[in-house]
Amino acid sequence: MTDDPGVTDAAYTDLFRRYLDGASDAQSFRRDFYALMQCDARIGDTVRYAILQRVFFAGEDLVLDADLLVGEGRDDDEIDEPTFRRRIAAAARDLVRRPDDWESQHRA
């Protein structure tokens, strides 16, 4: 099988690590993640897709404190940055510890 390997797992874990280590802020992380995911041609890797979907939806749900109006709180489906950070950390851990080795099995 020679599915397009798309963006490597390492590219995502590097992006996650930069955010978790404080080298980028949440807004930059979200922008960079969406850009990386848009150019990712990998299909058929359902384990990774599920992990990346969690990050995608966390980015959609993130409302930074600076974006809230004075006196306004978050809606029930919105998350703050500490929650976002925990979700990214879980995704990074899951991506590294995935139960398969998709990339080595699908090299062109």
Domain ranges of the chain: 9-99
Could you tell me if 60 and 5 are in contact, meaning their C-beta atoms sit under 8 angstroms apart?
no
pTM of the predicted protein model: 0.84
In this predicted model, which residue has the larger pLDDT, 69 or 18? 18
What's the rounded mean pLDDT across residues 64-91? 86
For residue range 49-68, list pLDDT tens digits in order. 999 999 999 999 998 877 77
Cβ(36)–Cβ(72) below 8 Å = no
CA-based nearest residue to 45, from 12, 86, 89: 12
Helix, strand, or coil here: 1?
coil
Give percent of the chain above pLDDT 90. 54
9-99: which CATH architecture?
Up-down Bundle (1.20)
Q: What is the average pLDDT across 76-102? A: 89
Mean pLDDT computed over every residue of the chain:
86
